[in-house]
Amino acid sequence: MLGFRYIKVPPTTYVLQYSSGKIVRQGVGLSFFYFAPSSELVKIPVASADVPFVFNEMTTDFQEATIQGQLTYRVSDPKRLASLLDFSVDGLGRARSNDPEKLNDRLVHAAQIIARSFTQRHSLRDLLVSSSTLVQEMTEGLKTSETVAMLGVEVLALSIQSIKATPEMAKALQADAREQLLQKADEAVFVRRNAAVELERKIKESELNTEITVETKKREIRETQMKAEIAVEEQRSELVKQRVENQIKEAEAQGHALQATLAPLKDIDWRTLMAASSGSLSPKLMVAMAFRDLADNAGKIGQLNISPDLLSTLLTSDGKP
């Protein structure tokens, strides 16, 4: 209708209207009439978009790794992006060029450069278990990238879905990991057995120490008993010795007493002592004493005659046969 047209864009689309090389209208979610022959419309999606990526890189040990992930971004500066890429549309709202597709390619290329730098610093084994570190480094790298900033794009998120080695290397790594796990399992069994043996040794050592302690206590008890018996025997020996000494002293005292008693009598004639002890001398005793004197003086006697009657009288008790 005389070249006038109507356009209405959603709130997730930023539209710019150029006329005579100047921006006459811009914003999100606009709706307006424009004169088509002298106007140029640029529509830039500002909603967040997800860009999947897959690329192969070489690790520091010259092994190929496949990195698969997804990049989420949004256009933060539509005017800057419109000055770099062609987002213009025709009267039917169709893009005039394929530049909108180049935005995803440039973001993926920037992400791949950062991932390549990371991959070339790590071995394949380390790379396969470093997805979180790779995500962190790629996210920080994209947020500070001059290329991304120049495009007027803001990186919202980045995720790594998988990091894979070639099938041959994956099998080799799995076999190596399996051997290491089996070795660790064997080491764990060995350690557990050693622990059991060590525990058994400690138990036996404790039992032996207990037996040694018991035997030591028994020996100490026996030694104590022997010392007590020795002490008793020593006391008994001292007692016997003391008794002997006491008996010797007592005998000596009795000897001295007897000697003192008999001392006055040693010079007295035995006949006198006998007469004093018996009170009176019997005829037999007197005859016996006479014979004793005769014996003492036998050398002086020439001849002695003893009649049978005298002997018969001496052999009888009180003159009785």
Q: Domain limits of the chain? A: 48-165, 270-315
- pLDDT value at residue 282: 64
- At 308 the pLDDT is 73
What is the model's pLDDT at position 132? 93
pLDDT given for residue 318 in this prediction: 52
Residue with tokens 């530049």: 99
| Beta partners for residue 290, in sequence order | none
Strand partners, 18: 23, 40
pLDDT of residue 160: 94
Cα 191–Cα 195–Cα 200 angle in degrees, nearest 5: 150
Rg of the Cα trace of the chain?
71
**Is CATH 3.60.70.12 the classification given to domain 48-165?**
no
pLDDT of residue 314: 65
Q: What is the reported pLDDT for 298?
A: 66
In the predicted model, residues of the chain with pLDDT beneath 70 are 1, 265-306, 310-311, 313-321
* pTM score: 0.56
**Per-residue pLDDT, 92:** 77
pLDDT recorded at residue 110 = 94
What pLDDT, on the 0 to 100 scale, is given for residue 275?
61
Give the C-alpha distances (Å, rounded to integers) separating 282 from 268, 269, 274, 315, 319. 20, 18, 11, 14, 12
